[in-house]
Amino acid sequence: MLLLANNLHRRYGERLAVAGLDLTVDVGEFFGLLGPNGAGKSTAVRMLAGVLPPTSGSITVGGFDLVAERRRALPLLGMVPQELGLYPSLSAHANLEFWGRMHGLSGGELARRIGWALELVALSGHAREPVQTFSGGMKRRLNLAAGILHAPRLLLLDEPTVGVDPQSRNRIFEGLEELNRRGTAVIYTSHYLEEVERLCHRVAVVEAGRVVAEGSPSTLTERWGNARVVLRVQGATESLPTDLRTLDGVRAVHLRDGTLVIETAKPQATLAAALQALARSGGEIQEVHLERASLESVFLALTGRAMRDGGTP
């Protein structure tokens, strides 16, 4: 076990931002931390990175206690904060040189790591340019490079693709996947569920400061996710919701303005049964949609709210 967080609490005055968070991350694992705004993700990441002491609970990294054996645990961790932790007036190279030195690198080793990190994020051609001339995506890529210079065993990323163009997002994904292939474990927080589904081996859904569900994206989808059968209907449909709720696999039925939405774990069987029920009631079908289960639906089922306004990119 590379990281073990046990019963973490963090209080800000009267507010409990993290309330009994338990996490484990294995060597080489790509772990996703999902949660809406205010769920406590960023606070959790700051505690896991060793920059915020927990009010109670414990964290061990590589077997070292993050509070008591801080100087031995911290070199194993790398952090990529949500805001750009970079100096705009310095060049990309100067920024990396500084962060490398802060992590104890020097001389030829530092130069080699800078070259490697710049290449990984595809910024080798811009090494001597001031960061303030970079696009948002380039800055995000450099932000990632600054976090991996010292080759951490566990990399913590807090919303690393916010405001990034698709090209830079792909570069970041490729870089992270490459790091992960080489054995770096990753904790990844994001609002973008598609990113999490693509990258993460395992996901924890955080709500009100604690984990409410955990597993691989497919496991979570099977366990909590609902496919949606959407029917636009006309005619005698008043009794339909009551009839359909009794079907096997159906978790919720809503009828509004002639649109019938059935959330179900068994979409094929539900669709067939719904069509039969409609035929019996004399209702007329105008349109049919079948939406597969996704992490979004898992999230909705677990937290009762959508992941973010405006959907995913």
Partner 1 sequence: MSPLAQLGALVVKELRLLGADRGALATLFLLPVLFLVVMSLALQGLYARGQRPVVVAVDRDRGPIAARVIDRLAQSGDLAVERIGDPKRAEVAVREHQAVAALVFPADFSLRARSGVKPAELELVADPATGRQLLAPVAVAVEATAAQTVAEAVLPDALARRVRDYAQTLADPLTILPLAARLREVRTGGVSLRERSTADLAAVLPGAKPDSAQQNVPAWTIFGIFFVVNVLALSLVRERQDNILMRLQATGAPVWVLLLGKLLPFYLVNLLQAALLFAVGIGVLHLALGAHPLALVPVTLATAAVATNLGLLIATWFETPEQLGGTASILSVLLAALGGLLIPIYVMPDFMRRLAVFTPQHWALTGYQDVLLRGGGLGEVLPEVGILGAFALGFFALAVVRWRQVLAR
Q: Report the interface residues with partner 1, using CB under 8 A.
A: 12, 46, 49-53, 70-71, 74-75, 77, 79, 81-87, 89-90, 94, 98-99, 101-104, 106, 146
CB of 210 to partner 1, least distance (A): 21
DSSP-derived 3-state class of residue 209 = coil
Q: Which is nearer to partner 1, 93 or 228 (CB)?
A: 93
Q: Which is nearer to partner 1, 70 or 305 (CB)?
A: 70
Q: Which is nearer to partner 1, 106 or 286 (CB)?
A: 106
- Identify any residues that bridge with 24 across adjacent strands, giving them in sequence order: 4
CB of 34 to partner 1, least distance (A): 21
Contact 214, 307 (CB under 8 A): no
Residue with tokens 């474990």: 185
AA identity, residue 187 = I
CB of 74 to partner 1, least distance (A): 4
Residue with tokens 């079907």: 247
AA identity, residue 11 = R
| DSSP character string of 143-186 | HHHHHHTT--SEEEEESTTTT--HHHHHHHHHHHHHHHHTT-EE
The token pair at 92 is: 């990309």
Q: Which is nearer to partner 1, 10 or 171 (CB)?
A: 10
Contact 40, 118 (CB under 8 A): no
CB of 1 to partner 1, least distance (A): 21
Q: Which is nearer to partner 1, 80 or 273 (CB)?
A: 80
CB of 25 to partner 1, least distance (A): 17
